[in-house]
Structure 1
């Protein structure tokens, strides 16, 4: 399976827009978001359906329109998907329900 997304070709061209969006995140107090994490969000959420004729300005618009709340929701869901915990342990279940 090919792990490259069709829009990866544009990544170096849109790097200034990614940096600008990350600066906005930092101004709002979200310092831990990386460029790679933001790019993954865009690929998995914004650009899930790949258009054949996507223009560079549309990619930049998508980057600059990312809301912090949308990214945080996505990151939380991704964390839950990869979390390794079990509710088989009664003590863990009691801790969770406190």
Structure 2
């Protein structure tokens, strides 16, 4: 019997799979990739929140995360970070 849970409930069970994905991305020259980066990317780009999934479905999503999706996520994060930095500079008149 396969149990569905919100993906956040599977996070601890997915640590080995996340580590495997980090290793894969390191081999693709994305050396700064972390498990948290992968998890956040999945949450924002693939799962779009905290949907219910069976464990095998969550594992499949991690393993199928491709570099294009990850790079798109990183690009959006850099825009958000840049906008935040610019907003702070504008606020303090720097």
TM-score of the pair, normalised by structure 1? 0.73
* Cα distance in 2 for residues equivalent to 1:14 and 1:29: 23
Which structure has more relative contact order (CA 8 Å, sep 6+)? It is 2
Q: Which has the higher helix share?
A: 2
Name stretches of at least 5 consecutive residues in structure 1 with no aligned partner.
1-5, 87-98
Larger Rg: 1
Alignment correspondent of 2:30: 30
1:11-68 CA-to-partner distances (Å, cap 9, x unmatched) read 111111111111100111111011111100111111115444x210000000000111
Name stretches of at least 5 consecutive residues in structure 2 with no aligned partner.
1-5, 88-94
Q: What's the C-alpha RMSD, in Å, of the aligned pairs?
A: 1.6
TM-score of the pair, normalised by structure 2? 0.76
Q: How far apart are 1:74 and its partner, in Å?
A: 1.0
4+ residue runs over 4 A deviation: none
Q: Which has the higher strand share?
A: 2
